[in-house]
Structure 1
Amino acid sequence: MSDSKLFTPYKLGPLTLRNRTIRSAAFESMGRDFGPTQQLKDYHVAVARGGVGMTTLAYAAVNRSGLSFNKQLWLRREIVPALRDITDAIHAEGAAAGIQIGHCGNMTHWSTAGCFPVGASTGFNLYSPTFVRGMRRSECAAFAKDFGRAVLTAHDAGFDSVEVHAGHGYLISQFLSPYTNRRRDEFGGSLQNRMRFMRMCLEEVMEAAALTRTAVVVKHNMEDGFKGGIQIDESIEIAREIERLGVDGIVLTSGFVSKAPMAVMRGRIPTKTMSYYMPWSSWPQKIVINLFGNRMIKQYDFEECYFLENAKKFRAALTGTLIYVGGLVSRRGIERVLDSGFELVQMARALVNDPAFVDKLRQGDIDTRSGCDHRDYCMARMYSVDMQCCHNCREEIPARLWRELDKIK
């Protein structure tokens, strides 16, 4: 493996990473009152100490209306000192610090967003569940400026990079996808129109990034994962536009959290475990998930490097930096991705199982593999409690939940 790129530095725009690994922006659910906590700091510092090139704090809303959870970050001036404490500690371990910025759109709630939920189009989101109001033209421009301001705030908080979330069925993705965009104005209809809001946001982001020398990557859906959503041919055109706007890298992903959530993560989510951790204040959803979850949520078998074949189509069509994410749990898998022409790799579940996984890859051989066995317990509890691997909190898990987890393995 002497010719491997894995532990060589990489220049991502203005930022040089010590190696090719990034902790992906999977929601930690470790915030409180829309701000960071000691738990969030401890986790990311552990990942940084474990050898990763960059660790990414997840799911930071660019404004109040973009919040879905109390444990989610709202990137605002008031939390800059607490975030700076985290980034300083990450830097002290030799890693770069990134933060994902976005807006949840029709996945928000009045209780967190502080207003009637907004999205690309008016309607009812069955998966929240909530009624949603389509955004006004003036709001589109204002929200785009919020994305730019978020970059300035991230810079003041010590972050080296921002990841703009334009996938998974959140707000930018809702404008891009014909499934959620039913507008009849200049923001809807043709692909050029559906890209308009994304283009506005990225122009503001790139202007702010140029002022602060902040690296910018965009999380982009290769496909939504169902009929009526974005398909690969159209997605490649979107990716070309993202590249044209001058971003430093594109993270290739797939799936829609409100319709095809396991297309994002793959594996068979333990629905009874998910129901168990949901609060009783959400009792209708709790009961429905417990009784009908396996029918409602399309399940996918886990396969290592599960996005790779689709990602190769984007590698062939694009010239810029592409970041692979999706099912990386072994040295062999990572080398396969790097050998396919991808410059960087992102991981989440392997680093939830073991924050020091990257150092173990460095010290091990080609057969080094994560202890993650894809039971997706971490996903089942993520939005209700926090993101934890079942192997790291075994004593807390009731026996009846272990029975479900053992069936999935």
Structure 2
Amino acid sequence: MKESLLFTPASIGPLTLRNRTIRAAAFEGMCEGNSPTDLLYDYHRSVAAGGIGMTTLAYASVTRNGLSFPHQLWLRPEIVPGLRRITDAIHKEGAAASIQIGHCGNMSHRAICGCTPVSASSGFNIYSPTLVRGLRKDEIREIAEAFGTAVNLAREAGFDAVEVHAGHGYLISQFLSPYTNRRRDEYGGSLENRMRFMEMCMAEAMTAARDDMAVLVKTNTRDGFKGGLEIDDCIEVARRLERCGAHALVLSGGFVSKAPMYVMRGRMPIRSMTHYMKQLWLKAGVRMAGRFMIPDEPFREAYFYEDSLKFRQALRLPLVYVGGLVSREKIDMVLDSGFEFAAMARALINEPDFVNRMRDAGELRCGCDHTNYCIARMYSIEMACHRHVKDLPPCIKREIDRELARR
């Protein structure tokens, strides 16, 4: 029987992790006032104590106009002490600490980011809903430079690594995709031009990282809808990221404003999602049109595996597999297939000590049932698994029971 790689150390650039597991950069919604809280501290400390190799805080906007939620991190000097408290706790438990940095582009609203949301091109985002303004060239340079500033702030806050968010239809992804990039200057048109902003952000991040910070990049395997980037385009993007000096890539997929469940798979529990919404007009609109706006995508374990294998064949740098890992069997499968690391999110929302249980109990599966309650809840209040929430409202209990009965 082949020996498992799971609990062997491995490196990402200058950083060595104690094992091959990473807590994926999944939005926690635990940052009131765009600042770290005790809730964020407690969650990441628990994941670190649960045996993870590295845990990733998600996501931290590099500028105020890159915020997509009011309870999301904005990486700025005044929150460094609060972040240092979290990284100290993570390190004390033996894990490494990473922070995802990015800009949401058109996935915002004036009430959150303080201005008309910006993107590669002007338009309208139905998911906010809001008008969107295309960035000027001087603004493009300023945002790229903010990625370098963010890396320096992350170092000051005690992080070992940063994860540049270049996927999921956020700003870098909006420049890459022909669906959102209709520019006629040097930042639009050909894929070569559309990669220009990404290269600028990476140049700033890699320069700031110097030789003591690991730089990972989350990138799409495909956008997940007709008119977006397909797998061959995304492999070219990944090759360019490798040439930019990225230490590892996190392979994901999907476009939040067009194919949201392609990222996470399964059904969005609309009743749970709207239950926590404060705006009555938004609550009513999502209840009426939610199934149209957020179509289902079937869930299966390791759902990005086949696409990700093509990237493994095309690239030399370390790759992080993410997407539907809830069992030791599938984690070992991706590691045996040449992926250096396995990343999980929902499994660790359900069970923060899942890694320790795999180490101590051998073959097993976590208790996540993928009802996606955690996703529905995090858009309005903090992330949480329904199994850990006391006194769930009856309407939510019924929705969860119906979803489980469908299987």
TM-score bin, normalised by smaller chain: over 0.9
Q: Please point out which of 290, 294, 314 is paired with 1:293.
A: 290
2:328 is aligned with 1:331: yes
Q: What's the offset of the Cα at 1:2? A: 6.5
User: Counterparts of 2:92 and 2:2 in 1: how far apart (Å)?
Assistant: 28
1:195 alignment partner AA: M
2:235 is aligned with 1:236: yes
2:381 is aligned with 1:382: no
1:214 alignment partner AA: M
Counting matched residue pairs gives 404
Q: What's the offset of the Cα at 1:70? A: 1.5
User: Counterparts of 2:286 and 2:391 in 1: how far apart (Å)?
Assistant: 22
SS across alignment from 1:71: coil
Match of 1:405 in 2: 400
Q: Residue 324 of structure 1 contacts residue 344 of structure 1 at CA under 8 Å; is this kept in 2?
A: yes
Q: What's the offset of the Cα at 1:27? A: 0.2
2:365 alignment partner AA: R
Provide Cα deviations, 1:136-160, integer angstroms capped at 9, x if missing partner.
Answer: 0111111100000000000000000
Match of 1:169 in 2: 169
Match of 1:269 in 2: 268
User: Counterparts of 1:250 and 1:272 in 2: how far apart (Å)?
Assistant: 35
Output aligned runs, 1:216-365, within 5 Å.
216-279=215-278, 281=279, 283-365=280-362
Superposition RMSD on alpha carbons, in Å? 0.9
Match of 1:144 in 2: 144
2:365 is aligned with 1:369: yes
Provide Cα deviations, 1:164-193, integer angstroms capped at 9, x if missing partner.
Answer: 000000000000000000101100000000
Match of 1:214 in 2: 213
Q: What's the offset of the Cα at 1:235? A: 0.6
Q: What's the offset of the Cα at 1:296? A: 2.1
SS across alignment from 2:251: strand
Q: Percent identity between the aligned chains?
A: 61
User: Counterparts of 2:71 and 2:376 in 1: how far apart (Å)?
Assistant: 16
Match of 1:66 in 2: 66
Q: Residue 217 of structure 1 contacts residue 251 of structure 1 at CA under 8 Å; is this kept in 2?
A: yes
2:27 alignment partner AA: F
Q: Residue 100 of structure 1 contacts residue 164 of structure 1 at CA under 8 Å; is this kept in 2?
A: yes
User: Counterparts of 1:183 and 1:127 in 2: how far apart (Å)?
Assistant: 22
Q: Residue 181 of structure 1 contacts residue 188 of structure 1 at CA under 8 Å; is this kept in 2?
A: yes
Q: What's the offset of the Cα at 1:285? A: 2.2
SS across alignment from 1:267: coil
User: Counterparts of 2:340 and 2:357 in 1: how far apart (Å)?
Assistant: 21
Output aligned runs, 1:132-211, within 5 Å.
132-210=132-210
SS across alignment from 1:105: coil
Q: Residue 60 of structure 2 contacts residue 74 of structure 2 at CA under 8 Å; is this kept in 1?
A: yes
SS across alignment from 2:74: coil
SS across alignment from 1:182: coil
2:402 alignment partner AA: K
2:93 is aligned with 1:93: yes
Q: What's the offset of the Cα at 1:34? A: 0.7
1:184 alignment partner AA: R
Q: What's the offset of the Cα at 1:365? A: 2.1
1:63 alignment partner AA: T
Q: What's the offset of the Cα at 1:284? A: 2.3
Provide Cα deviations, 1:330-379, integer angstroms capped at 9, x if missing partner.
Answer: 0001011111110001100000001101000101122x000000000001
Unaligned 5+ residue runs, structure 1? none
SS across alignment from 1:42: helix
Q: Residue 272 of structure 1 contacts residue 289 of structure 1 at CA under 8 Å; is this kept in 2?
A: no
Provide Cα deviations, 1:181-221, integer angstroms capped at 9, x if missing partner.
Answer: 0101100000000000000000000000016x110000001
Provide Cα deviations, 1:242-291, integer angstroms capped at 9, x if missing partner.
Answer: 00111110000001111111000001111111111111x2x222112112
Q: What's the offset of the Cα at 1:109? A: 1.4
SS across alignment from 1:28: coil
Query: Relative to structure 2, which stretch is displaced further, 78-87 or 398-407?
Result: 398-407
SS across alignment from 1:108: coil
2:391 alignment partner AA: E
SS across alignment from 2:32: coil
Match of 1:57 in 2: 57
User: Counterparts of 1:199 and 1:329 in 2: how far apart (Å)?
Assistant: 34
2:304 alignment partner AA: F
- TM-score, L = length of structure 2: 0.98
Q: Residue 269 of structure 2 contacts residue 399 of structure 2 at CA under 8 Å; is this kept in 1?
A: yes
Name segments (4+ residues, structure 1) moved above 4 Å: none
SS across alignment from 1:251: strand
User: Counterparts of 1:396 and 1:329 in 2: how far apart (Å)?
Assistant: 26
Q: What's the offset of the Cα at 1:84? A: 0.4
Q: What's the offset of the Cα at 1:406? A: 1.3
Unaligned 5+ residue runs, structure 2? none
